[in-house]
Amino acid sequence: MKTGEVKARLYGMLNACQAGCRSWERNAIQQAIEPTCLTILALRHDRTKELEVAVRGIVASQNSDGSFPVFIGDESAGCWTTGLAVLSLLAIGRETARLQAAVRWILGAKGREANWFWRWKFQTVDRSVQFDPAKYGWSWVPDTTSWVIPTAFNLIALRQTNKRRPNTTPELTERISIGSSMLLDRMCPGGGWNAGNAVAFGMPYAPYIDATAIALLALDERQTQPGVRDSLAWLVTRISGCPSPYSLAWGILALAAYQNISREVNEMLARTTSELMALLDSASGTDDICTLAICALALDAAEGDNVFEVRG
């Protein structure tokens, strides 16, 4: 099956899922922000009525402080999904005051290491984890420690916003710099990223394909740095044969952002794209909305249309 045919099938499945979400809303079942944002990103070129329903749901869910919750209609506590919401609104050209409010919230949100008390605690009392608390990113929910994936998504959102409308204010420049430094500080020994810390209780943690890929997407402008090169090399050696379409698709998105950096990256991008097509043809592991959307986005990226790429 050709790539265009596979993507058309994925788009059809996503539209069907979104149409089902409209009936869920009538039954008062909450719709999650993450799969809705990923669906918007995947369908950004396919302006269907289902896409418009998804966009209206996202816009209506925004909190008064500019942030976004986990679920549409959830309590008004902003979280990591704000970065994804910004990316989805940017992708469809909704650069409004609502989007600006979300960016302001991201700029103000910080992992709790940014607070002097927690910084002191991690530097003196709590030595079970090994990281530099002066380098902080973003957390899954407020008042908790920074994690890799929320930090990466918020960095991509800030960098894409800045690319669309350059803003060289010290606040934005510093926030991107500190967040990027946090990712590099939390890198696992030898390259790649776990969900959070690289070392805890004296033991190194193993990297994950999806976390590594998302972090690499956030750091594509730093591709010459040794840590980024090491992590890309780790991904190239580990991704082939991955049985999870979700993780494999994230890996393809990262490889596509670094293509032409080396022959190995280009070869692995072609190989893993074929592997993903085979998994999709067998319908293996594609039973949730996030996986469907990420697979569609990966196939786009393999053809040169990477919605998460910022550099260039």
Total Cβ atoms within 10 A of residue 24 = 13
Q: With respect to residue 43, please indicate whether it lies within any of the assigned structural domains.
A: no
Encode pLDDT of 156-200 as tens digits: 999 998 887 766 678 888 999 999 999 999 999 999 999 877 666
Q: With respect to residue 248, please indicate whether it lies within any of the assigned structural domains.
A: yes
Q: With respect to residue 263, please indicate whether it lies within any of the assigned structural domains.
A: yes
Bigger pLDDT: 179 vs 312: 179
Taking the mean position of all CA atoms in its chain, how far away is CA 295? 14
Q: In whole angstroms, give the CA distance from residue 140 to residue 279.
A: 30
The boundaries of the domain holding residue 300 are 239-306
Confidence of residue 133 (pLDDT cuts 50, 70, 90): low
Domain count, the chain: 1
Tokens of 125: 């009392």
Residue 171's pLDDT is what?
A: 86
Q: With respect to residue 62, please indicate whether it lies within any of the assigned structural domains.
A: no
Confidence of residue 30 (pLDDT cuts 50, 70, 90): low
Residue 117's pLDDT is what?
A: 45
Q: In whole angstroms, give the CA distance from residue 240 to residue 273.
A: 10
Helices 148-164 and 209-218: crossing angle, nearest 10°? Answer: 30
The pLDDT of residue 209 is above 70? yes
Contacts within 8 Å (CB) and 24+ apart, 191-197 = 191/227, 191/230, 191/231, 191/232, 191/233, 191/234, 192/230, 192/231, 192/234, 192/235, 192/238, 193/148, 193/231, 194/148, 195/147, 195/148, 195/149, 196/145, 196/146, 196/147, 196/148, 197/129, 197/130, 197/131
Q: With respect to residue 188, please indicate whether it lies within any of the assigned structural domains.
A: no
When pLDDT is averaged across residues 34-48 and rounded to a whole number, the result is 91
* Residue 140 dihedral angles phi and psi, to the nearest 5°: -70, -45
Residue 285's pLDDT is what?
A: 56
Residues 6+ apart with CB under 8 A from 146: 110, 111, 112, 113, 136, 137, 138, 139, 182, 186, 196
Q: With respect to residue 149, please indicate whether it lies within any of the assigned structural domains.
A: no
Encode pLDDT of 248-282 as tens digits: 999 999 999 999 899 999 999 999 999 999 999 88
Q: With respect to residue 187, please indicate whether it lies within any of the assigned structural domains.
A: no
Give the three-class secondary structure for 50: helix
Altogether, the residues listed in the chain come to a count of 312
Tokens of 99: 């989007």
Encode pLDDT of 45-60 as tens digits: 987 788 888 898 899 8
Q: With respect to residue 279, please indicate whether it lies within any of the assigned structural domains.
A: yes
Q: In whole angstroms, give the CA distance from residue 308 to residue 312.
A: 12
Bigger pLDDT: 163 vs 67: 67
C-alpha closest to that of 82 among 154, 163, 161: 154
Residue 257's pLDDT is what?
A: 96
The pLDDT of residue 24 is above 50? no
The pLDDT of residue 108 is above 70? yes
Assess contact for 240 and 273: CB atoms under 8 A: no
